[in-house]
Structure formats: structure tokens, C-alpha cells
């Protein structure tokens, strides 16, 4: 980890702390369940409304509309334009990687 210390002794690091939310995402053809990460101090909606084109999901499961798991992955990115709705299911404070 890289860090700097200012003249007052305050530490600055390149690590961004985030909280994990087990979430469900609906696209036009599939449902995705996995962890969405939100920066400390931000609201869930703040993360969803960021200008980036993609949202990262960890421990992802892709399900058919009737709930059958068709694929799972430790990491998945979803194009925000394909999201119909996104719902947090469970909050996990400082979830380990």
C-alpha cells in the first residue's frame, strides 16, 4: 500500500474503503445476484448513479428469470444501461475480499 503523510501527521492512502451489499440485479433477460460495493459514507444510490458505464459485482450468480443458476463467477461487470432494477438484499460492513 502506498501512503503519504502531511505536515499534521494525517495519512493519505490509495485504498478506497467500501462496504458490500448482497444485491439482486434485473436485466432484460437475466437476474444477477452478488455483492455491490459502496464507498464509505456514500448511499447505495450514490454508487448506482456514478457516471461509469459498468458496475462491478463479486461472487456473482447469473440466474434465468425463473431462478435457475446458469453461471457463477468471482467477478462480473454489468453495463449499467442493461440494468432494469437493482435491489440491496443484505448489508455486510467491511466484507473481506
Helical residues (DSSP H) of the chain, grouped into ranges? 44-48
DSSP letter at 80?
G
Give, in degrees to the nearest 5, the angle at Cα 14 between 8 and 19. 105
Q: What is the mean pLDDT of each run of 10 residues along the chain (97 residues)?
A: 64 73 91 91 85 93 90 95 91 56
What is the predicted pLDDT for the residue at 64? 84
Domain boundaries, the chain: 17-92
Give residue 96's pLDDT. Answer: 47
Mean of the per-residue pLDDT values of the chain: 84
Q: Which fold has domain 17-92?
A: SH3 type barrels. (2.30.30)
pLDDT computed for residue 74 by the predictor: 96
Burial (0-12, 13-18, 19+ Cβ within 10 Å), 36: buried
- 2-28 confidence digits (pLDDT tens): 556 667 766 666 667 788 899 999 998
The whole-angstrom separation of Cα 59 and Cα 55 is 13
End-to-end CA distance of the chain: 16
Amino acid at each position: 500500500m502506498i501512503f503519504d503523510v502531511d505536515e499534521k501527521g494525517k495519512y493519505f492512502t490509495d485504498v478506497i474503503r467500501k462496504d458490500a451489499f448482497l444485491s439482486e440485479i434485473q436485466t432484460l433477460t437475466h437476474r444477477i445476484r452478488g455483492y455491490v460495493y459502496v464507498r464509505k459514507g456514500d448511499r447505495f444510490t450514490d454508487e448506482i448513479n456514478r457516471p461509469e458505464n459498468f458496475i462491478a459485482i463479486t461472487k456473482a450468480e447469473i440466474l434465468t428469470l425463473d431462478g435457475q443458476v446458469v453461471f457463477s463467477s468471482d467477478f462480473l461487470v454489468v453495463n449499467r444501461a442493461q440494468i432494469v432494477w437493482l435491489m440491496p438484499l443484505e448489508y455486510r460492513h467491511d466484507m473481506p475480499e
